[in-house]
Chains A and B, each alone.
Chain A
Amino acid sequence: MKFSILTKAIAGGVALSALLAGAALADPAIIYDGGGKFDASFNEAAYNGAEMYKKETGAGYGELEISSDAQREQFLRQFAERGYSPIITPGYNFVTALESVAPEFPDTHFVILDAVVDLPNVRSVLFKEHEGSYLAGIMAAMKSESGKIGVVPAFNLDLLEAFACGYKQGAKSVNGDIEVLETYIGSGFDAFNDKPKAVEVAKSQLDQGVDVVYQVAGGAGAGVLQAAADAGKFSIGVDSNQNHLYPGSVLTSMVKRVDVATYNAMMDEKNGNWSGGTIVLGLAEDGVGVAFDENNASIVTDDMKAAVEKARQDIISGAVEVHDYRTDQSCPA
């Protein structure tokens, strides 16, 4: 008796899977990277975008979290074989897997965030982090009373230098004499998780007279925000809106709209507006920006808002050009 239930269940599983395999679902799918779905950062932003899509359209989406590198290709094929499109992969770690899987499914659409895969059915989405950081730099310089501000990247990585460089340019545009301290947390990718070290590095900057510090360090960055809050100084968050973490201390957050990129990809597919190629999201596209909400309303002045808005318009119109560190590995500011 028991055995027959088991065999039925197995048969049921087989039938179910066969059913799934046959159905041509036009639903989108996301494959979260190793950090997991709720990493309070990149993956979670993609998740938020998918939830926005779900709420608005009532349609579902598929999702999987990888737990080993071999699963990247496996999951991509699995979703593609079962008719999901577009399949969204947050992060540059998917480049190699996508390059081998995407050509096998020319009719399926793929999206990669923060990296470029040059294939006709792949949409690559990049962000102009330097533009958003420029605005953050303006606010920092205006808020600073000591004439010293700081930036804390996780480590010496081109991508993070682009944040820091944009920030410096923004600050110098307000006050040509401002001093910008830059200190790395560590020397490798593990620095992204080294919160205790982040606290130490931020404290050291604060002790040297810095009164606004910008964190560019993923998960470890929370330590920077914490150190500034403890010292009664100001900090700037990154990637997601982190203003709520220490209200009254987090001056603003330089947000990267991964959620918007995810949402747009899903909606474009649904509305038949899909396009491949590389999309670069800057201020003009609302892909990056600084966050204003009730948590920082009391510490942001109208002058700051006006200056940020003016700079935003100037960058969009081309009157001001923010140098991207990644183009020549150097920073003019």
Chain B
Amino acid sequence: MIEVIDLYKEFDKTPVLKGISTTFEKGKTSMIIGQSGSGKTVFLKCLLGLHKHEKGTIIFDGRNYADLDDKQHRQLRQEMGMVFQGGALYDSLTVEENVMFPLKMFTNKSFKEMLERVNTVLKRVNLKNVNTKFPAQLSGGMQKRVAIARAIVMNPKYLFCDEPNSGLDPNTATLIDNLIQEITKEYQMITIINSHDMNSVMEIGEKIVFLKNGVKAWEGTNKEIFKTENEAIVDFVYSSNLFKKVREVYLNETK
């Protein structure tokens, strides 16, 4: 479990996260939602250790991030997988080399063993015959899948995704969502996703944390989001007419 207690972060004396507390559980897909500038990415980067927070505590399965030494930090980071918004694949490396990179860096496996593992995860994300291609030769959806393959190649305990389906067509976005959810169950990971995409939130958001102006304004599940009366989240989620209708239909059906 990841426990976040009273997390506070500021940039140039401007507070961005104002005392956020929440927990994320194993085997569940949790989603951080909120408007642009609400602090979602900063929150995720604080969890990843890319930003140092001013106040608060982050505990990864009983390990307080602030109490760890350099070696333990490195160890913890090797247990994390991250899917960046743009994929963040290394341009100069082929797909195979990209996915193999963490294995080369942190294991003493032979090339044959590493290649076997790479092929297994590429197969898992439904990619075939792309090993020798460079990221620039792949579509956006394929790049995201390679990024997921790289993130899971070390069997991480924690998977973080920053807008994993931004810029993708609805079909591909759904495929990526389903893939992340399946992998989360299969590997029993703690998955945390930053997203704007309400389809994703409704589909795979087993836990949803809604941030507004750096404050946790609501949290619940994708089922509860239909029933909630919280004004902030209702305004955010049901800002489109389509979702308003969906909510009306859902509420009428469940009356």
Q: Do A and B bind each other?
A: no
- Chain A residues near B (Cβ < 8 Å): none
